[in-house]
């Protein structure tokens, strides 16, 4: 299943580069997003480098999800697609 990287997780003064917010097109509610908790997420750069993350929690009430990657995503990843793997 594909999702889009929306933004980094952030506060007023900081942003956490290992934490990203992703959105799946078909997921509209928080309860739908909670079904993805624990699934593995993979981002592939245009040069073939892969970064692996894990869905940790739902983010907000409109179906966004918080993913923690092993290494931080680069800024070029914002707006690109990630793959959510089935276990």
pTM (whole model) above 0.85: yes
Report the alpha-carbon distance of residue 62 to residue 30 in Å, rounded: 6
Q: What is the per-residue pLDDT across 74-83, written as a single tens digit (0 to 9) for each? A: 999 999 999 9
Report the alpha-carbon distance of residue 84 to residue 24 in Å, rounded: 9
Print the domain residue range for 72.
2-85
Q: CATH number of the domain that 69 lies in?
A: 2.40.10.190
Total domains in the chain come to 1
Indicate whether 87 pLDDT > 80: no
The token pair at 70 is 């092993």
Strands 15-23 and 50-59 come out as: unpaired
Report the alpha-carbon distance of residue 59 to residue 27 in Å, rounded: 12
Strands 40-44 and 15-23 come out as: unpaired
């Amino acid at each position: 299943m594909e999702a889009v990287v929306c933004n980094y997780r952030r506060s007023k003064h900081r942003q956490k580069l290992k934490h990203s917010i992703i959105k799946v097109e078909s997921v509209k509610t928080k309860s739908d997003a909670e079904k993805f908790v624990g699934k593995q997420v993979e981002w592939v750069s245009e040069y073939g480098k892969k970064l692996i993350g894990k869905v940790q929690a739902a983010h907000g009430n409109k179906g966004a999800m918080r993913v923690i990657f092993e290494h931080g995503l680069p800024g070029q990843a914002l707006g690109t697609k990630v793959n959510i793997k089935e276990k």
